[in-house]
Chain A
Amino acid sequence: MGLMKKTSSSEKPASPIRVVVAKPGLDSHDRGAKILARALRDAGMEVIYTGLHRTPEEVVRTVVEEDAEALCISLLSGAHTALVPRVMALLKEAGMEDTVVFLGGTIPEEDVPAMKAAGVAGVYGPGSDLKVITADLQAKVERVRAKA
């Protein structure tokens, strides 16, 4: 192809992971979400923060328009049992079921199996190590990328 010959894809550096950090519902605890957003950015990701009080519809709309590979939901209100399954259903409806979804905040141990059953790939409670979260997210996204 002469001049337009592309450098082989192995030479092309991997593009940054695009991740949405979302605060759905009425929960106003945003310290964790902001700390997480900064940690992900410092790990080289492009982080789209939604701000507070988004509806599940708005969160999923954001994931679609930003074409994010990952969604981090932060909830400290106890509303995860209602909000998370709704977000997961809407993601599927939108054709974004490959999105890696992580959940964090105050999620009681007994709710974790239900969250995972709904499709959440990882749940991280208070005191979680940000390095671990970042590495886990990176690994999960890379697995999805490899499949595509």
Chain B
Amino acid sequence: MRDQWAEKLLAGDRLALARAITWVENEDERGLSLLQEVFPHTGKAWVIGLTGAPGAGKSTLLLRLAEAFSKEDLKVGVVAVDPSSPFTGGALLGDRVRWQRRIAGDIFFRSLASRGRLGGLSRAAYDAIRLMDAAGRQVILVETVGVGQAEVDIMHAAHTVVVVLAPGLGDDIQANKAGIAEIGDIFVVHKADREGASDTARDMRMALGLSPEARGRREGYTPPEEGGPAWFPPVFLVSSLSGKERGLETLMTGLYQHRRYLEARGLFGERVTEEDRRRMEEVLSEEALRWVMERAKEDGTLEEVLEALKRKDVDPRTAARRILGGIGEEKRVP
């Protein structure tokens, strides 16, 4: 018999989805078995990532997009990640604050704290995306923390990555920031109502032109000279300021074009599979580390090696190898 939580989640029940996300986030066994149970129902959702510096307007734009997609009768999921304090573990998750207007439509919004992860998402974000997918969310919008150098997590987790820039946040720095050009499928110069937006757009277009990787990033690229339909990241000017809105429709068109490009190249499903594989490796490395450490602790190797490290008899790399090598061996009497 299928678990009643799984049943509810697959039927789209909000509480079941919310509880499932909590469970996986807390590494509660109930969450892990629930994810396993609903996993066959994943792989349908279109995952769109929004990344960019704090204050660029990611949350504001995300809500505009959520509204636009739900107007098309699509069920929208939102995962918004904010940083946890490395000192207290606490976090202020404030992305909902931008929801200042009544927004109609079927939107499920979940805030997550990064909980120590550095790649721009939280460890639970991957699972939250899959759970939302299984619960019938057709478009999932993911907002990254926005403080890292290049937030590579989102590049793997999303089908389509939107980099959000804004005038006045240090234009040339934004445009040339390592990795930015490579990460985006679509670039939005937000706050187009402000002075300097077209300069930012020009700088970004320049930076994209200068960066061949920007066009060649990810597995889907075939250079035009080899006849492949390539994706050239467009740069759009958008304003989400009430009364001065502009550019949202163009952005929506660009998003759908990117989706069609992925589908035409067979990349839509491939990216999901690829991310699942990455996730498996990530979990495997965590579990393997835990397993090794437990063994090494049990048979005394850990203590022994740590002592040697303290005496400077071994360097950290050799110490690690010694722990690995010691697994399964009889405990040596020193």
Contact = CB atoms under 8 A, between A and B. Distances in A.
A15 B122 CA distance: 14
A61 B14 CA distance: 9
Which range holds the interface residue count of chain A? 20 to 34
Interface string A1-20: 00111110000100110100
B25 interface: yes
Interface stretch (B40-48, B108-116, B211-219, B232-240): B108-116
B85 interface: yes
A12 B28 CA distance: 10
A122 B38 CA distance: 39
B288 interface: yes
Contact of A43 (B90, B94, B108): B90
B22 interface: yes
Given A3-B287, A48-B96, A49-B94, A66 B110 contact: yes
B109 A51 contact: no
Nearest to A69: B22
Contacts of A18: 22
A94 interface: yes
Interface in A54-86: 61-62, 64-67
B91 A65 contact: no
A94 B294 CA distance: 42
B99 A67 contact: no
B26 A15 contact: yes
Nearest to B90: A41
B15 A64 contact: yes
B206 to A, nearest CB: 37
Contact of A42 (B90, B96, B97, B115): B90
20 contacts: A3-B288, A6-B29, A15-B26, A16-B113, A18-B22, A41-B92, A44-B88, A44-B89, A46-B90, A46-B91, A46-B111, A47-B93, A49-B93, A50-B96, A51-B97, A53-B100, A62-B109, A64-B14, A64-B15, A65-B110
